[in-house]
Amino acid sequence: MEHGASIFLRWAGRILILVAVFIVVASLFLPKAVSPLGSAVCPSGTTLDNTRYTPPAAPKNERLELVCTSRTYTETAAPKILLVSGGLGVAGIVAIFFSGRIVRPQTKGPVVPGTF
């Protein structure tokens, strides 16, 4: 029988890795799905959005990118989102790594007097 903490860490690691992959995919196609991260990665007064973003001093080649935007301010959020998802992925891998290294209690059989 496995140790309860080992099972918990293994499942927590799996879930963290899946959440990291979901954040990366959803940030490209469904920015509303990652909108709860807006308060963590965007400055106050801005919201996460997936729009055409052109930096102020850039040429006219627009690209599709996840941005923090308001009426007067726009900032790219891609590096921060990748940092969050990368951190979750690393935390998941570490949890899976340590799930196999939990010290299990040693069990001993009952002492029965030997009859020879």
Domain residue limits, the chain: 4-99
Cα 14 from Cα 54, distance rounded (Å): 37
Note the pLDDT of residue 33. Answer: 83
pTM greater than the 0.75 cutoff? no
pLDDT at residue number 95: 94
- Residue 91 φ/ψ region, left for φ over 0, alpha for ψ in the -120 to 50 degree band, beta for the rest: alpha
Show the low-confidence residues of the chain (pLDDT under 50): 1
Specify the pLDDT at position 1.
Answer: 43
d(CA 34, CA 26): 7
> What per-residue confidence (pLDDT) applies to 76?
82
